[in-house]
């Protein structure tokens, strides 16, 4: 038996339905092949949840991965979508595969994944999907030789500048999924089929898509085909030499045992006018506020209204931002009467790298 898995990285609360949609499509495709699957989300429903990194997963148990799956998918992708053959449902190994995948339901996350689908390209920097665990690299769960597929207008070479080094080799792919379909997980999955063959087949996805979207099914299937052919990708070799990270996720042994945990749920308050050192929230951010000194009247409304104390109270420093704690919510830009603050795409800043 072979376990394969896909991770979906998005932002709460706005992309929870899209996490579920991607998982449903991949699991439905697996079902059409006779392979049992498991789909679920891990969502930290924080009070400040807008922008918080969230994850979803699909786990599939298969008897084997055909060595010629990539060639079969390429042949199917060359056909008109209404002429793609139906997948063959082989249930001969279903019981054994089911027993294999059933144990995965007891895990908080899969042990490893074959592909990571990234909904917002700023998330390639990594994220903290569960509070206090530290920064998780975008490829933390990825198997050696796996693929990262990013919804982005940027080329893979550009995004690579913001991804933490790793001793794994992987494929980094980009597709302008939002420019192709409002349900952008459809082209993301189409791109995944090209760079991570063997998770589910091209033909099973085409039939799952057509069944899911009914009247629009053929149109959505065309999007899958287009993304399969349009995806840009590069092969990323393992990093050379030792890897030193500024921030990393905590190891299991670093968490307190049940005897060491405090009573109840304790949220330690930071000193007044300072951010909370226990909870960095910069991975929530897609856009960063930038102040124009020529327009700033130093009225302090940006500091006063910041919900996270992510600004200095010093007007002489133009209430500078503590970037590790700014979520990019845009409240400061909204309340500024002189429009001195604008929101700028996070990856326009070289220091956006978190490693």
What is the tens place of the pLDDT at every residue in 222-239?
999 999 999 999 999 999
Asked whether residue 97 falls in the same domain as residue 226, the answer is yes
Residue 59 confidence (pLDDT)? 97
Asked whether residue 90 falls in the same domain as residue 147, the answer is yes
End residue of a domain, out of 183, 204, 236: 236
Give the pairing type, strands 232-236 and 170-175. Answer: antiparallel
109-145 pLDDT, tens digit per residue, is 899 999 999 999 999 999 887 666 778 899 999 999 9
End residue of a domain, out of 177, 206, 236: 236
Residue 47 confidence (pLDDT)? 55
Question: Is residue 31 included in any domain, yes or no?
Answer: yes
End residue of a domain, out of 207, 236, 265: 236
Q: What percent of the chain has pLDDT over 90?
A: 74
Asked whether residue 221 falls in the same domain as residue 273, the answer is no
Closest to 135 (Cα-Cα) out of 280, 345, 13? 280
Question: Is residue 247 included in any domain, yes or no?
Answer: no
Asked whether residue 124 falls in the same domain as residue 177, the answer is yes
Instruction: Give CA 351 to chain center in angstroms.
Output: 21
Question: Is residue 131 included in any domain, yes or no?
Answer: yes
Distances (CA, A) of 62 to 7, 172, 352: 17, 25, 40
pTM: 0.92
Q: Prior bond to 60 cis, omega within 30?
A: no
Task: Concatenate the DSSP letters of all residues of 66-103 into one string.
Answer: -TTHHHHHHHHHTS-GGGPPPPP---TTHHHHHHHHHG
Question: Could you tell me if 12 and 43 are in contact, meaning their C-beta atoms sit under 8 angstroms apart?
Answer: yes
Tokens representing 119 are: 């909904």
Average pLDDT score, the chain = 91
Tokens representing 197 are: 């063959």
Asked whether residue 82 falls in the same domain as residue 182, the answer is yes
Q: pLDDT confidence of 265, banded at 50, 70, 90?
A: low
Question: Is residue 320 included in any domain, yes or no?
Answer: yes
Asked whether residue 291 falls in the same domain as residue 183, the answer is no
Asked whether residue 87 falls in the same domain as residue 12, the answer is yes
Question: What mean pLDDT comes out for the span 289-318?
Answer: 94
Question: What mean pLDDT comes out for the span 37-64?
Answer: 84
Here the CATH number for the domain that contains residue 354 is 3.30.70.20
Q: Is 20 helix (H, G, I), strand (E, B) or coil?
A: helix
279-294 pLDDT, tens digit per residue, is 788 999 999 999 999 9
**264 pLDDT higher than 70:** no
Question: What mean pLDDT comes out for the span 205-220?
Answer: 97
Which of the pair, 244 or 179, is modelled with greater confidence? 179
Question: What mean pLDDT comes out for the span 66-94?
Answer: 96
Asked whether residue 149 falls in the same domain as residue 296, the answer is no
Question: Could you tell me if 195 and 148 are in contact, meaning their C-beta atoms sit under 8 angstroms apart?
Answer: no
Q: pLDDT confidence of 352, banded at 50, 70, 90?
A: confident
User: Which structural domain, as residue segments, surrounds residue 125?
Assistant: 2-236
161-172 pLDDT, tens digit per residue, is 999 999 999 999
Asked whether residue 128 falls in the same domain as residue 224, the answer is yes
Here the CATH number for the domain that contains residue 95 is 3.40.920.10
Question: Is residue 250 included in any domain, yes or no?
Answer: no
Asked whether residue 142 falls in the same domain as residue 290, the answer is no
Tally Cβ neighbours within 10 Å of residue 39: 21
Question: Is residue 33 included in any domain, yes or no?
Answer: yes
Asked whether residue 192 falls in the same domain as residue 298, the answer is no
Q: pLDDT confidence of 321, banded at 50, 70, 90?
A: very high
Number of domains in the chain: 2
**12 pLDDT higher than 90:** no
The CA distance from 171 to 143, in Å, is 11
Residues 6+ apart with CB under 8 A from 257: none
Asked whether residue 217 falls in the same domain as residue 264, the answer is no
Question: Is residue 300 included in any domain, yes or no?
Answer: yes
Question: Is residue 245 included in any domain, yes or no?
Answer: no
Handedness of CA 150, 151, 157, 159 (dihedral sign): negative
């Amino acid at each position: 038996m072979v376990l394969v898995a896909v991770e979906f990285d998005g932002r709460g609360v706005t992309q929870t339905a899209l996490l579920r949609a991607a998982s449903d499509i991949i699991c439905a495709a697996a079902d059409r092949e006779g392979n049992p699957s498991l789909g679920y989300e891990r969502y930290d429903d924080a009070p400040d949840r807008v922008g918080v990194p969230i994850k979803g997963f699909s786990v599939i148990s298969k008897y084997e991965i055909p060595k010629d799956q990539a060639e079969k998918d390429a042949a199917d992708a060359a056909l008109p979508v209404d002429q793609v053959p139906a997948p063959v449902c082989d249930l001969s190994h279903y019981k054994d595969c089911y027993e294999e995948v059933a144990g995965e339901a007891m895990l908080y996350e899969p042990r490893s994944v074959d592909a990571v689908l990234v909904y917002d390209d700023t998330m390639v920097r990594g994220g903290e999907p569960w509070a206090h665990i530290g920064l998780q690299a975008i490829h933390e769960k990825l198997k050696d030789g796996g693929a990262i597929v990013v919804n982005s207008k940027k080329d893979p070479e550009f995004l690579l500048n913001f991804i933490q080094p790793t001793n794994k080799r992987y494929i980094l792919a980009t597709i302008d999924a939002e420019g192709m379909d409002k349900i952008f997980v459809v082209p993301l999955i189409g791109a995944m089929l090209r760079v991570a063959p063997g998770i589910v087949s091209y033909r099973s996805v085409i039939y799952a898509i057509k069944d899911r979207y009914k009247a629009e099914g053929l149109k959505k299937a065309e999007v899958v085909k287009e993304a399969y052919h349009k995806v840009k990708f590069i092969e990323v070799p393992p990093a050379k030499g030792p890897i030193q990270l500024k921030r990393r996720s905590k190891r299991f042994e670093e968490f307190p045992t049940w005897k060491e945990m405090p009573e109840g749920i304790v949220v330690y308050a930071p000193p007044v006018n300072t951010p909370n050192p226990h909870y960095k929230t910069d991975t929530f951010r897609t856009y960063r506020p930038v102040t124009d000194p020529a327009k700033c009247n130093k009225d302090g409304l940006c500091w006063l209204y910041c919900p996270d104390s992510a600004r200095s109270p010093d007007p002489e420093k133009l209430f500078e931002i503590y970037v590790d704690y700014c979520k990019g919510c845009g409240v400061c830009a909204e309340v500024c009467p002189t429009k001195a603050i604008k929101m700028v795409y996070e990856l326009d800043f070289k220091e956006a790298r978190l490693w």
